């Protein structure tokens, strides 16, 4: 006889599972299911569906992944559904125009990298992984027609994305209308108790509830999570906006990016990216407001916590120490990009970095002369977009060579003399230039 599973008290579970959620549909249904689960000893089936439309995940994706982990923490079944079939259709959410479907090859390549990254959060041994091609790829034309018969076109066109496109006379492809219905069939096949998603997915999730009822199942509970604002503090985190932190980035890069967010934005990151309870976040915030804790110190704790989640505590501590040394104590980092430069015949400069070698045609360099730092950094090393931007950077105090600030745009380096230079560009970029 199988022993009943023991769960934490229902109220403790409810508080933990709804922490940080934007909306629960419906709270009383979640509490009821938790109570039933406690009586029967049967875990709830909670799932998150993700379409592998790009190969890499960023912190914005982890907000809902972390919530799935919370269900796992409470002893429930966490199902990570890879939408390998639905990704070929493409979710129309937030789209102002029809986008081309992905190919099977693109989807398969992206799906392979997803699980490697997802297991940085979810427990590999306790996660049920499914692919919706298991059932969607096998549906007959009759089954698809019957599925479509359970939903009205008028309801579908009430969707904000579709309604806006209709008003602007922009095209809507039929396959886009199928997306929420096909993904609703995922919930039917999984017989899920709870589905997680971002706030912008609410329409799809409500369709999923309704279709479950149409197939004679009890409608699942929905938990939506807020959208994580990107590093710019204005738009949602996205690779297309360049305001993201990838979960596979090096600890030092991840730490540095997190330290760049505003003091105000920091608090939503504490809520959505860490397990610090609400009263703990409130305590930190009060200490900052009262002047007992510097905002940078609170942010460093945040960055260390996030880095530790994906790279381990040792990496988090090391990244924090590196940041302290480089940016607060103004010391140089232990590792940096190194360029080795050597003048060749015919006015050519041979550059070696990271094992790669390239030759730059410099024009004639005077025997007794040198080259301006602005030209070297922008034109030859390509570390600054243009010479004018390099000159602006220098005027603004953004260049330091071997610990000495350089503020004159006409300042130059002699390429005829051997030497080693540690160069700081802006606040965060360090280079080592070795002249041979």
430 with 326: CB under 8 angstroms? Answer: yes
Same domain for 301 and 154: no
Q: Which residue stretches of the chain have pLDDT < 70?
A: 1-4, 54-55, 90-101, 327-335, 345-347, 355, 360-369, 403
Is 3 domain-assigned? no
Residue 262 belongs to a domain with what CATH number? 1.10.240.10
Same domain for 153 and 126: yes
What's the gap between Cα 138 and its chain centre?
Answer: 32
Q: Which of 121, 37, 32 is nearest to 74 (CA)?
A: 37
**Cα–Cα distance, 239 to 244 (Å, whole number):** 6
Whole-Å CA distances, 401 to 334, 371, 420: 16, 15, 10
In tens, the pLDDT along 84-127 reads: 888 877 655 555 444 566 777 887 877 777 888 888 899 999 99
Is 315 domain-assigned? yes
Same domain for 419 and 389: yes
Q: Which of 70, 101, 104, 99 is nearest to 84 (CA)?
A: 104
| Structure letter (DSSP) for residue 248 | T
Is 240 domain-assigned? no
Same domain for 215 and 72: yes
Same domain for 342 and 324: no
Residue 352 belongs to a domain with what CATH number? 3.10.290.10
In the sheet that 337-344 helps form, which strands lie side by side, from edge to edge?
356-361, 348-353, 337-344, 429-435, 419-425, 399-401, 404-405
Residue 161 belongs to a domain with what CATH number? 3.40.50.620
The range of the structural domain enclosing residue 270 comes to 250-328
HSE on the CB side for 142, CA within 13 Å?
Answer: 0
Same domain for 93 and 188: yes
Count of Cβ atoms closer than 10 Å to residue 338 Cβ: 14
In tens, the pLDDT along 197-237 reads: 999 889 889 999 999 999 999 999 999 999 999 988 888 88
Domain stops at, among 284, 302, 328: 328
Is 232 domain-assigned? no
Give the pLDDT confidence score for residue 358 in this predicted structure: 75
Whole-Å CA distances, 347 to 172, 365, 373, 377, 417: 58, 7, 17, 17, 16
**Cα–Cα distance, 200 to 187 (Å, whole number):** 18
Q: Which two tokens stand for residue 35?
A: 């109570």
Is 40 domain-assigned? yes
Domain stops at, among 328, 346, 373: 328
Same domain for 289 and 154: no
Same domain for 215 and 193: yes
Query: Quick check: pTM over 0.85?
Result: no
Same domain for 175 and 73: yes
Is 242 domain-assigned? no
Give the pLDDT confidence score for residue 346 in this predicted structure: 64
Residue whose token pair is 């939506």:
224
202 with 44: CB under 8 angstroms? Answer: no
Q: Is the four-CA dihedral 215, 217, 218, 222 of positive or negative sign? A: negative
Give the pLDDT confidence score for residue 347 in this predicted structure: 66
Domain stops at, among 266, 298, 328: 328
- Per the omega criterion (within 30 degrees of 0), is the bond before 106 cis? no
Same domain for 213 and 134: yes
Same domain for 66 and 89: yes
Domain count, the chain: 3
Give the pLDDT confidence score for residue 122 in this predicted structure: 92
Is 241 domain-assigned? no
Quote the radius of gyration of the chain (alpha carbons, Å).
Answer: 27
Is 231 domain-assigned? no
58 with 237: CB under 8 angstroms? Answer: yes
Same domain for 344 and 324: no
């Amino acid at each position: 006889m199988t022993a009943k599973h023991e769960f934490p008290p229902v109220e403790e579970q409810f508080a933990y599972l709804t922490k940080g959620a934007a909306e629960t549909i419906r709270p009383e249904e979640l509490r009821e299911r938790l109570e039933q689960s406690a009586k029967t000893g049967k875990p709830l089936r909670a799932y998150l569906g993700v379409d592998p439309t790009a190969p890499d995940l960023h912190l914005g994706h982890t907000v809902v992944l972390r919530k799935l982990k919370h269900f796992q923490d409470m002893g429930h079944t966490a199902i990570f559904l890879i939408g390998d079939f639905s990704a070929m259709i493409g979710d129309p959410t937030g789209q102002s125009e029809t986008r081309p479907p992905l190919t099977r090859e693109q989807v398969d390549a992206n799906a392979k990298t997803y699980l490697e990254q997802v297991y940085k959060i979810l427990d590999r041994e306790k996660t049920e992984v499914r692919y919706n091609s298991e059932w969607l790829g096998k549906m007959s034309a009759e089954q698809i027609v019957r599925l479509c018969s359970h939903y009205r076109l008028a309801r579908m066109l009430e969707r904000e994305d579709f309604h806006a496109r209709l008003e602007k006379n922009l095209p809507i492809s039929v396959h886009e209308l199928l997306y929420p219905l096909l993904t609703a069939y995922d919930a039917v096949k999984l017989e899920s108790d709870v589905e997680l998603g971002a706030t912008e997915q609410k329409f799809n999730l409500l369709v999923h509830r309704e279709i479950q009822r149409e197939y004679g199942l009890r409608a699942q509970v929905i938990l939506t999570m807020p959208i994580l604002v990107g590093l710019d503090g204005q738009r949602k985190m996205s690779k297309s906006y360049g305001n993201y932190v990838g979960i596979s980035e090096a600890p030092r890069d991840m730490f540095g990016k997190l330290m760049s967010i505003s003091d105000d934005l920091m608090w939503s990151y504490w809520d959505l990216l860490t397990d610090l309870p609400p009263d703990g976040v409130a305590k930190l915030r009060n200490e900052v407001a009262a002047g007992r804790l510097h905002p940078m110190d609170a942010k460093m704790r945040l960055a260390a916590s996030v880095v530790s989640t994906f790279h381990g505590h040792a990496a988090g501590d090391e990244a924090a120490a590196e940041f302290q040394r480089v940016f607060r104590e103004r010391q140089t980092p232990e590792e940096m990009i190194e360029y080795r430069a050597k003048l060749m015949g015919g006015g050519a400069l041979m550059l070696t970095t990271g094992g790669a070698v390239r030759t730059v045609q410099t024009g004639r360099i005077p025997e007794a002369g040198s080259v301006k730092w602005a030209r070297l950094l922008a034109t030859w090393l390509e570390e600054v977009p243009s010479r004018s931007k390099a000159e602006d950077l220098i005027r603004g105090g953004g260049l330091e060579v071997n610990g000495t600030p350089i503020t004159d745009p006409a300042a130059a380096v002699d390429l005829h003399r051997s030497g080693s230079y540690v160069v700081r560009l802006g606040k965060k970029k360090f280079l080592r230039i070795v002249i041979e």
